[in-house]
Structure 1
Amino acid sequence: MTTTHSEMPVVETLLGPVRGSTDGSVSSWKGIRYAAAPVGPLRFRAPVPPEPWTEVYDATEFGPCELQSRVAVIPLGDNVAMDEDCLSLNVWAPAGITAKKPVMVWIHGGAYFRGASSQPVYDGTSLASNGDVVVVTINYRIGVFGFVDFSSLNSDEHTFDSNVALRDMIAALRWVQGNIASFGGDPDRVTLFGESAGGGAVTTLMTVPSARGLFHRAIAQSSPATSVYGSERGDKVAQTFLDILCGGEADLGLLRTIAAEDLVGPSDELFARIPQETPGTLAFAPIVDGDLLPDYPVRAFRRGNAHPIPLLIGTNKDESSLFRMMKSPLMPIDTEVIRAMFAEIADEHPDVELPEHSQIESAYSGLSQVNAGLGLTRDFGFRLPTLWIAEAHSHVAPTWLYRFDYAPTMLKVLKIGATHGTELPYVFGNITHSVKDITYKLGGLAAARHVSDRMQARWLAFAKANDAGWLGSDPSWPPYDTDRRSTLVIDKIDMTVADLDSEIRIAWGEKVIAFA
């Protein structure tokens, strides 16, 4: 559809007017700046408000995403530039701004290292149109720009802030609070949702005191909730990066003066090196800094210190298969590497009594070594942290647990199944089928669209706080509690299962929870 100039909606924000575009029943505004460019002296510092503007800002194209190495499996969008000046967001809303509508704010994933709000799968048109909601997707600093903590190196000459990417997300949420009503959104009904690193950001922000009140419901998809580390680990990662960048002699001035493009290669090297040296850990992750983030998120949930808001949380059935296919160092599968991972945990947390390895292995008996490794790392990296959070948060606020099992025949033949991230097109309603896409070559497209319709309807109903209608859908999805432990299994036909994860929950026990 061709949009004429008169159809381009102009909205007044607190910073200045922005002009979007309208396509059918949905208007969108893209690349709206929510913070000043984090460059020069603002590199590795908390975001600051941008300068206001008076001329109408053209918000019809996505803003630049953070600098990163491109990979084919993560398309960032057509003609999307990369630039350190990347702190922008995008808004989709039903055309013709009327009454205040629920708002859904999306945080993209990518191991805190890749990705962007402009990725085609995150287009908010379908959600806004089908759900009568306002959708916001945000960019934030990733990789070394957002998730390496140099604050232990602070001096009179050089100052660095911790967790700058989390601070970016909070700044974006504050922008939503101040401006979303102008786009037809209700600032008192904001659902924060995200997947993978984005899901981890959601569970982390639920424990950040300064984020309280900025969102009122949360959806965490495949959250690596335990991939949050202490300040000592953060210091070590920062020093390792400086060793890579400076060859062993720390030059703090270089961190701010070097061209941003020249930080990407060392960032890639750090990304690969850290999980090799300490299996099962990420190079880039939030840090418990005692300031913005006072405690490990899972432990904060266990202590009842997370924001007491409704939570929808879950994982995919075959999370690890993607990492095996990509030969990613993030999810160890080899038995010896897994044992090394446990040894690393025991060494870092001598006060923690881990379950016996044989006790854990019993949950994966009868599987091949590869499948046992896939199951173990899937559970340790994603499913168990999700269970621990559901168990704890269900005592504080309504909590719903799911597992996404749907996989078309081709993904089963390729031994990928319902792997990490495969639920995303279903949530956003962006199922595509092109000549190059082999996903549905062996059938399943019609079933996939039905799965998407049901899944999107549930996510939207949750965001609208429409629990009564949502729970009455087929099948009903009761809140999680420690008596029945109800879990929605999302597949070609959905079903609700009591205590779906009893085997791994019992095998792992609760001793390991203490280190998280």
Structure 2
Amino acid sequence: MSTRVFDTLPDEAAGPVVRTENGDVRGRQEGSVGVWRGIPYAATAGGPNRFRPPQPAKPWEGVRDCYEFGDVAPQSAGFVPVDSGLQVGEDCLWLNVWAPVGSSDEPRPVMVWIHGGAFCLGTAAQAVYDGRRLAETGNVILVSVNYRLGALGFLDLSSLGGEFTPNLGLHDQIAALEWVRDNIAGFGGDPDNVTLFGESSGAGCVTALMTAPRSAGLFHRAIAQSPPATTVFGPERGAVVAKRFLEILELPEDRAAEILTMPIERISTAAGILLDEVPAREPGRLAAAPVVDGDLLPGYPSESFQHGRSHRVPLLIGTNKDEASLFRVFRSPIMPVTTDAVNTMLREVAGQHPGMSPERIAEIASAYENVSNLRGALNLSTDAAFRMPSHWVANAHSEHSPTWMYRFDHATPMLKAARVGAGHATEIPYIFGTFGSFDHDPTFWLGGRKIAQEISGRMMRRWAAFAWYGVPAAIDGSKHWPHYHAADRKTLLIDAADRVVEDPDHDRNSVWGDQVVGFF
């Protein structure tokens, strides 16, 4: 039987209205899609809720207009493009919904997006994440989540006292998934068919949540685009960074509780110093990241995957061919992109892994042409941060659940000329169909738009098919995408023409091996 997507309420003529557990929300119809922006899924994270797990949102009377984005989570200025018209604040626990208008024979699958930004930057309000085209093309419900970042979301201050809860960014994401479970049916979505997907640190959150007991049953498929899956720290590391954070704030440990009430601008400034300082001193390492807390994350996700303790859900995972290039262009300290920084990273990793002898380090470096030149350094950095963690996750997860691996190889003529290639995050506008969402976007200055749009269409249809059926098969006759297994490592290379290749980076995969290597 056909069901209507939205309840008919008296003032719906002003925009589609949906009843949620906290109250009615009114959106806007944009083309064939209803859009609700800034729906609170939890109470403000400011005031007494700072450094606390997300608290229930307060109910409201009447109809709440959800036309505008909420506050951007407090953060330092970075190279993630954010609309200057947006407001920064601690009332930042909100989400957006895009839902096709009209009746449907069955509830639509739900895709929940976790944005990236090195765990310290970005927002669900970025134009590149506009969900309208993906919702239209895939006939899916698209939800994007805003959550706490940096010092407020991923800096582990629990060593300073019981007032501080670690992994607040992950707690926020779980609260958003619980909101989806409880409310998405009103938008025409199926709460029993939720795909959690994200990119970069957002994908790292996806792989972490795939091993978190509390998230079990809240999503039923997962997509991880360029996940830094081994960037999860232990409590000892968290305590070291917390101590340094106090030093920057010029606070003794016995006054750490003052962080709970000090102006947010002071926290953001200190966090900005810390977040730049750590990767500059220790290339390859971040200051803020998920941490093994014995509660939300009982163990390192990479180890949980290898011991078969990831949730039994289909997984689509992959990386971009030239991940590190974008960090070189923006001169970002977040990722090591010089030969000196890469060599320092290797020495730091060796210091943490007893099996990583100088000879072993030299063996790994030998697979990269010449680490002393820029290309070799960039390739090694790409593999250490993103590509090998993705393979280690896929190798383990494929032992018990359907898994697919991709490598995004496409670059427009302009991106090739700029030596960005298929850099980090360049696949995002293909997934969302949001080309031209940046001011002065140079992507197509030398042409290539038609091919890019064709690739975008294929990728949107594959991602949506995965959400509908658990299989990333475009229905337009595109290349068949076989399962990934460690034995053959079949990978879909996404370019002007898709092709499936067995173990496309065989030499580099072999030299790294199956032992998980990362910062802990």
1:383 maps to a residue whose letter is R
Q: Is the 8 A contact 1:355 1:512 kept in 2?
A: no
Which region of structure 1 is more displaced relative to structure 2, 392-401 or 342-351? Answer: 342-351
What is the aligned partner in structure 2 of residue 65 from structure 1?
72
2:36 is equivalent to residue 32 of structure 1: no
Count of residues paired in the alignment: 509
> Of 131, 154, 166, which aligns to 2:170?
166
2:400 is equivalent to residue 396 of structure 1: yes
> Of 139, 144, 152, which aligns to 1:137?
144
Deviation at 1:306, TM superposition (A): 0.4
What is the aligned partner in structure 1 of residue 98 from structure 2?
92
2:488 is equivalent to residue 484 of structure 1: yes
Alpha-carbon distance between aligned partners in 2 of 1:369 and 1:11, rounded to the nearest angstrom: 57
What is the aligned partner in structure 1 of residue 3 from structure 2?
none
2:304 maps to a residue whose letter is A
2:324 is equivalent to residue 320 of structure 1: yes
2:28 is equivalent to residue 21 of structure 1: yes
Alpha-carbon distance between aligned partners in 2 of 1:358 and 1:492, rounded to the nearest angstrom: 36
> Could you say what secondary structure the match of 2:310 adopts?
coil
What is the aligned partner in structure 2 of residue 246 from structure 1?
250
Q: Write out aligned runs for 1:169-180 (5 A).
A: 169-180=173-184
Q: Write out aligned runs for 1:465-484 (5 A).
A: 465=469, 467=471, 469-470=473-474, 473-484=477-488
What is the aligned partner in structure 2 of residue 217 from structure 1?
221
2:137 is equivalent to residue 121 of structure 1: no
Q: What CA deviation, in whole Å up to 9, does each residue of 1:362-398 have, x standing for no partner?
A: 2112676111100100000000000111111111100
2:392 is equivalent to residue 385 of structure 1: no
Q: Is the 8 A contact 1:243 1:249 kept in 2?
A: no
> Could you say what secondary structure the match of 2:265 adopts?
helix
Q: Write out aligned runs for 1:1-400 (5 A).
A: 6-71=13-78, 73-77=79-83, 79-96=85-102, 98=104, 99-155=106-162, 159-246=163-250, 251-350=255-354, 356-365=360-369, 369-400=373-404
Alpha-carbon distance between aligned partners in 1 of 2:481 and 2:144, rounded to the nearest angstrom: 28
CA RMSD in angstroms, aligned pairs only: 2.0
> Could you say what secondary structure the match of 1:505 adopts?
helix
> Of 453, 460, 463, which aligns to 1:456?
460
Alpha-carbon distance between aligned partners in 2 of 1:45 and 1:325, rounded to the nearest angstrom: 37
Alpha-carbon distance between aligned partners in 1 of 2:81 and 2:296, rounded to the nearest angstrom: 32
1:144 maps to a residue whose letter is A
Deviation at 1:246, TM superposition (A): 1.9
Q: Is the 8 A contact 2:233 2:519 kept in 1?
A: no
Shift in CA distance, 348/184, structure 1 to aligned 2, threshold 3 Å: same
Q: Is the 8 A contact 2:20 2:186 kept in 1?
A: yes
Alpha-carbon distance between aligned partners in 1 of 2:101 and 2:83, rounded to the nearest angstrom: 23
Deviation at 1:130, TM superposition (A): 1.0
Alpha-carbon distance between aligned partners in 2 of 1:319 and 1:209, rounded to the nearest angstrom: 31
Alpha-carbon distance between aligned partners in 2 of 1:469 and 1:50, rounded to the nearest angstrom: 39
Q: What CA deviation, in whole Å up to 9, does each residue of 1:219-268 have, x standing for no partner?
A: 00010111111000011111111110125555223201111122111111
> Could you say what secondary structure the match of 1:511 adopts?
coil
Alpha-carbon distance between aligned partners in 1 of 2:438 and 2:232, rounded to the nearest angstrom: 38
What is the aligned partner in structure 1 of residue 511 from structure 2?
507
Identity of aligned residues (%): 49
2:402 is equivalent to residue 418 of structure 1: no
Q: Is the 8 A contact 1:93 1:128 kept in 2?
A: yes
What is the aligned partner in structure 2 of residue 444 from structure 1?
448
Alpha-carbon distance between aligned partners in 2 of 1:243 and 1:514, rounded to the nearest angstrom: 27
> Could you say what secondary structure the match of 1:364 adopts?
coil
Q: What CA deviation, in whole Å up to 9, does each residue of 1:401-440 have, x standing for no partner?
A: 0000100111111111110000000000112288822211
2:190 maps to a residue whose letter is D
Alpha-carbon distance between aligned partners in 1 of 2:388 and 2:380, rounded to the nearest angstrom: 10
Alpha-carbon distance between aligned partners in 2 of 1:93 and 1:438, rounded to the nearest angstrom: 31
Alpha-carbon distance between aligned partners in 1 of 2:46 and 2:439, rounded to the nearest angstrom: 41
Shift in CA distance, 97/112, structure 1 to aligned 2, threshold 3 Å: farther
Which region of structure 1 is more displaced relative to structure 2, 309-318 or 462-471? Answer: 462-471
TM-score by length of 1: 0.94
Which region of structure 1 is more displaced relative to structure 2, 176-185 or 431-440? Answer: 431-440
Shift in CA distance, 382/434, structure 1 to aligned 2, threshold 3 Å: closer
Which region of structure 1 is more displaced relative to structure 2, 428-437 or 303-312? Answer: 428-437
> Could you say what secondary structure the match of 2:446 adopts?
coil
Alpha-carbon distance between aligned partners in 2 of 1:315 and 1:248, rounded to the nearest angstrom: 43
Deviation at 1:343, TM superposition (A): 2.7
Which region of structure 1 is more displaced relative to structure 2, 46-55 or 10-19? Answer: 46-55
Deviation at 1:153, TM superposition (A): 1.9
